[in-house]
A and B are shown apart, each in its own frame.
Chain A
Amino acid sequence: MAKTFTGIWGTFPYLDEAATVAKKLREEGRDYSVLTPCPRHELYDAMGQPQSRLPWVTLVFGGLGIFFGYALPIWTAYDWVLPVSQKPILGIPAFTIFAFELMVLLGGMSTAVSIFLFGHLALFRSRLPKSEKFKSYGRFSNDRFGIVVRCDESQASAVENLMNEHSAEEVVREF
């Protein structure tokens, strides 16, 4: 069975060194991923400030929320007209509350779902090692930064040297 990942991964105790490696890998045009216990702007800058398309999902669903928030009470107002003294049948200011609430509800829910959907979809494009060694390495959630480079064996030495030059604690080849 063909392996889904070939490449090299390294662990780093220092954020600045990991960021330098990420920056150099980007400048060399390599396909890489960064692992970190928490989001850091140093890594974000080193990776060239990649943008998420997630806000578009929020915008679309938030807009749908506004639409339904107005549409439901407007439709019900006309579906069974109940005139009360001289009050207008359509109470647009009152209906704005539903538009706001449904905007928040649909926008918020879609954002939450998209955070995980987008994150997992991105991993289909940029696969991480499947080896037991990588999976059982539990320190990316603790105090270590990681860099995974997808490359063939001919490029491994260059990447390995780059990582070692920048205080990599451990460098693992997976081919």
Chain B
Amino acid sequence: MSSTYLALFKISLKDKIAYFKDYMFSAVGRTLTYVLMIFVWNIIYFGGHFTTIKNFNLLQIDAYFVIGSALFLLINSNNDYIVSNDMKMGNVAKSLIKPLSYVYSVFIESFSENILLLPSVLIVIFFTLYYTGLVTTLFSIITVIIIIIIAYLIINILQFMIGSFAIYTSSAFGISILFFNIIEILGGAIMPLTFFPSYVNNIVMLMPFQLFTYVPASILIGSIPSSTYIYYIFFGLFWLFIIAFVGYIFWNHVKKKISSVGG
């Protein structure tokens, strides 16, 4: 069975490589959107003669936007588009009778896209840390790897659920964009979460979205104390468990709906 999934992964990877040029252009374009913030904050720091703003010095804020955008790009999947499209075209019903798990095959397809980005993301992170001279420990790196895996699973499950909404709305494209906008803001991609007013920050810090950008990027640049690393890992595992459980129930419900409307 595992060889079947491996074959599926290889096919998906080849498919993505065929559109590599387009894919890389898109990745660079999306990253640049966040990287432009470096110019904005440089002007703010220099203009206001600030050395730190909310525990971020200028080097850290520059590194935050580069590393944060790279990580955000890496963990983002396109499960929602795959599932939504499959729902629309009636492919889900066909997939359900195949000797393959539909859920796993969707995850493998989007994973092949993320894996293509991994080398560039690692190079970007390495050069950013080297260039800025920010010191990161082995413990930080291991914590970030664990958090990124948890965040990746959370975002994949959430996007899979969003794609499944197509059963109610005929297309989940709009909800997907809305979700992306929400995690961009609440995940800290457009700004570190500590910059938010304290009452907003207190609420945002209870949500799992901070694991998508803010927590891993802040750990790597050393703006989060190492004593809290274990807390963030358990916090992520807690949310992963909840979201996986809700996702499981939701998908079982959706599956019944698919068969009832004939695919």
Do A and B form a real pair? no
